[in-house]
């Protein structure tokens, strides 16, 4: 697994903190026999539901603060107007970030098929995503924003599975991205906390080497 933007020591600490939060609150589930299908088409024995944190006020606020600081970092010397979240998991996080930064928080109204919330053509938009696998759903949303005249260059995720293709996909879409945590950190926390059986450990190791080629019961 890898990450498009190399982490500083401070960012490594944040990655471990967020991973620990996700694991200890039950946002990470493991089922090596019945893997979850991701929207990318990849099957995974491990599933991370970042929206689980929305029901936990303390953790939700901590993650929102970390997202806010990461947005500040990636937008140094970059003027932007709005913060938007990719439906359906990220809009709530984007609202919290926009509030902390004093930015607009428009949204895509699926029923009406239009942008709402004082969205204007020419606005520069930072996108928030909860979980990234290949990045395709994030890119699709970025393209929708662009179709309505928005300028999108920056994406911040809560977590990424760290597949090499996410780097290429975002690069080809003209997007720079960063994530608070990733699969390596989540895996390390699971091991340290004794959350993995021997079989689950072996399955996850194989899956992490090549998630797209992995199939159940091959280990």
CATH class of 9-209: alpha beta
- In the DSSP assignment, the letter for residue 7 is P
| Domain ranges for the chain | 9-209
Determine which helix (DSSP H) or strand (DSSP E) holds 150, and give its type and residue range: none
Render pLDDT for 43-56 as a digit per residue (tens, 0 to 9): 999 999 999 999 99
Render pLDDT for 106-134 as a digit per residue (tens, 0 to 9): 999 999 999 999 999 999 999 999 999 99
pTM: 0.93
Strand partners, 36: 44
Q: Extract the residue ranges of the chain whose pLDDT is less than 50.
A: 1-4
Angle at 142 between CA 27 and CA 164, to 5 degrees: 60
């Amino acid at each position: 697994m890898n990450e498009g933007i190399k982490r500083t020591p401070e960012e490594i600490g944040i990655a471990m903190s967020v991973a620990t939060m996700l694991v200890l609150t039950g946002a990470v589930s493991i089922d090596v026999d019945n893997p979850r299908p991701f929207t990318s088409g990849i099957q995974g024995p491990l599933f991370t539901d970042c929206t689980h944190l929305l029901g936990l006020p303390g953790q939700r606020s901590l993650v929102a603060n970390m997202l806010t600081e990461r947005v500040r970092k990636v937008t140094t010397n970059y003027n932007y107007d709005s913060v938007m979240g990719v439906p359906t998991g990220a809009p709530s996080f984007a609202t919290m970030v926009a509030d902390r930064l004093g930015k607009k928080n428009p949204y895509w109204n699926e029923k009406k098929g239009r942008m709402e919330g004082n969205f204007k053509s020419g606005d520069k938009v930072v996108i928030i995503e909860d979980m990234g696998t290949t990045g395709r759903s994030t890119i699709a949303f970025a393209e929708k924003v662009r179709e309505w005249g928005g300028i999108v260059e920056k994406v911040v995720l809560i977590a990424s599975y760290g597949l090499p293709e996410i780097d290429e996909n975002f690069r080809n879409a003209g997007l720079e991205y960063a994530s608070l945590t990733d699969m390596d950190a989540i895996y390390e926390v699971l091991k340290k906390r004794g959350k993995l059986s021997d079989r689950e450990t072996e399955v996850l190791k194989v899956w992490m080497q090549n998630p797209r080629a992995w199939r159940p019961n091959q280990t």
